[in-house]
A and B are shown apart, each in its own frame.
Chain A
Amino acid sequence: DGGITQSPKYLFRKEGQNVTLSCEQNLNHDAMYWYRQDPGQGLRLIYYSQIVNDFQKGDIAEGYSVSREKKESFPLTVTSAQKNPTAFYLCATLDSPYGNQPQHFGDGTRLSIL
């Protein structure tokens, strides 16, 4: 989706290191989401934010942290407490939680352990 930019496309993490995944959107959408996808599986929700300066834990928030200081940006930090971080990470946005709208996705960041 051209309106959502995730970077980097590939990221390697050393033991004990925190890494931050970037998600930027120019769609002016209120809500933003972070998902984790493991091979052959569906998406699991890590964190989501409905408005600036507010966010909620999803189903698998342990070992991750987020911030939402600007409407356009929702970075995800994978901390050293996340012992199995190797996965494909997807960021999504939603125009409004009301009105039966679909989510829009970025092209993902693939994180691996060195």
Chain B
Amino acid sequence: SQQGEEDPQALSIQEGENATMNCSYKTSINNLQWYRQNSGRGLVHLILIRSNEREKHSGRLRVTLDTSKKSSSLLITASRAADTASYFCATDAPDDYKLSFGAGTTVTVRA
């Protein structure tokens, strides 16, 4: 079942600007992950944040997690045309080997 919901559904920004997207979920989680999908391709893992972590960085990516609000955000700084893709959050529950994916945010970076 899908428990993650991304917001906004679509985002269009100018190259060099920052892009922020949010993910909300309903039940307790073990980890929250963000993935990127280029058109017609598989998903690529970006970052994993554990339920006891509040913030994580990887290059131009910054992820925050607020378990009290059951929400996470992904910030892409200084965006590039190559960042054009769909971004999905995925959660897994304690003692569960399955991921639940949201519907994704489609990001378009204009040159």
Contact = CB atoms under 8 A, between A and B. Distances in A.
Interface of A: 1, 4, 6, 31, 33, 35, 40-45, 48, 50, 58-59, 90, 92, 94, 97, 100, 102-108, 110
B88 A43 contact: yes
Contacts of B1: 59
30 contacts: A1-B44, A6-B42, A33-B98, A35-B101, A40-B103, A40-B104, A41-B103, A41-B104, A42-B2, A42-B88, A42-B101, A42-B102, A43-B43, A44-B2, A45-B98, A48-B98, A58-B98, A59-B1, A92-B42, A100-B31, A100-B50, A102-B45, A103-B45, A103-B99, A104-B45, A105-B43, A107-B42, A108-B40, A108-B41, A108-B42
Interface residues of B, number: 23
Of all A-B residue pairs in the complex, the 9 with the closest CB atoms, nearest first, are A105-B42, A102-B45, A42-B101, A97-B97, A43-B101, A105-B43, A42-B103, A107-B42, A42-B102
Given A42-B104, A43-B43, A44-B2, 7 more contacts: A1-B44, A31-B97, A42-B4, A44-B101, A45-B98, A58-B98, A102-B33
Contacts of B101: 35, 42-44
B97 A90 contact: no
B48 interface: yes
